[in-house]
């Protein structure tokens, strides 16, 4: 039930904000700004210093907001995945597939979203209990690749990350993705300390998501 609930909330979120930052303070402020803007999916990457502490603080802050789902990104191994899960991460995202991480996430009933670029990689991930594969980098393909993947595997749930923008987000969903990962232009203002602008951009993505789903 726990895993299915988290997967449902990821789908409902629609847009997952991939949050990086030069400092943990920058990343934390960016997350607050994004959630303030109406996006409820946060992927806090382990390129952020002391990422597990940031995840723990976010989980504590938003524990009463059931629609907010906090996960860990750029998880390269099972040790990091366990650290993230103990901090409260509700899902784990990797740039590539890792068998030990998949097994650990299954053990804790935590969704694992590994980066995949080929049918073979997707097949391996699905056999290991993965429910959503991360198409990464999405910019290397574009929305048209989704139908190619879904032709032999119509049941696969795909989340493209990299190359998703306000301009092409609808194309991705029309192609059949379950959710999208967004970083880049959403987080760009945070590097200059302009978190109000981060909120404004998040509001634009949230509005676009409502437009797509209505």
Q: Write phi, then psi, for 53 (nearest 5 degrees).
A: -70, -40
| Both tokens assigned to 122 | 């997707």
Coil vs helix vs strand at 73: strand
Closest to 96 in 3D by CA, of 121, 115, 83, 73: 115
Task: Tell me how far apart the alpha carbons of residues 171 and 140 are, in angstroms, rounded to a whole number.
Answer: 15
Task: Tell me how far apart the alpha carbons of residues 5 and 13 are, in angstroms, rounded to a whole number.
Answer: 12
43 is catalytic: yes
Measured at the CA of 7, the angle between CA 94 and CA 100, to 5 degrees, comes to: 35
Which position among 26, 43, 90, 208 bears the catalytic label? 43
Write the DSSP string, 6-53.
Answer: HHHHHHHH-EEEEE--SSHHHHHHHHHHHHHTT--EEEEETTSTTHHH
Which position among 3, 26, 90, 134 bears the catalytic label? 134
Catalytic residues: 43, 134
């Amino acid at each position: 039930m726990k895993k299915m609930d988290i997967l449902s909330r990821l789908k409902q979120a629609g847009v997952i904000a991939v949050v990086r930052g030069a400092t943990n303070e920058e990343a934390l402020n960016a997350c607050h700004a994004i959630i303030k803007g109406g996006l409820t999916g946060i992927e806090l990457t382990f390129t952020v210093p002391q990422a597990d502490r940031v995840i723990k603080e976010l989980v504590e802050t938003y524990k009463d907001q059931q629609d907010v789902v906090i996960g860990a990104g750029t998880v390269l191994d099972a040790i990091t995945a366990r650290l993230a899960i103990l901090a409260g991460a509700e899902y784990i995202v990797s740039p590539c597939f890792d068998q030990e991480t998949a097994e650990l996430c299954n053990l804790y009933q935590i969704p694992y979203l590994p980066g995949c670029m080929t049918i073979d990689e997707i097949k391996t991930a699905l056999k290991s209990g993965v429910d959503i594969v991360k198409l990464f980098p999405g910019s290397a393909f574009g929305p048209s690749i989704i139908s190619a993947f879904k032709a032999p595997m119509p049941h696969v749930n795909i989340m493209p990350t990299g190359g998703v923008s306000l301009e092409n987000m609808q194309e991705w969903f029309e192609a059949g993705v379950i959710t999208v990962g967004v970083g880049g232009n959403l987080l760009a203002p945070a590097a200059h300390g302009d978190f109000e602008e981060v909120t404004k951009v998040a509001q634009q993505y949230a509005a676009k998501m409502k437009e797509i789903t209505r």
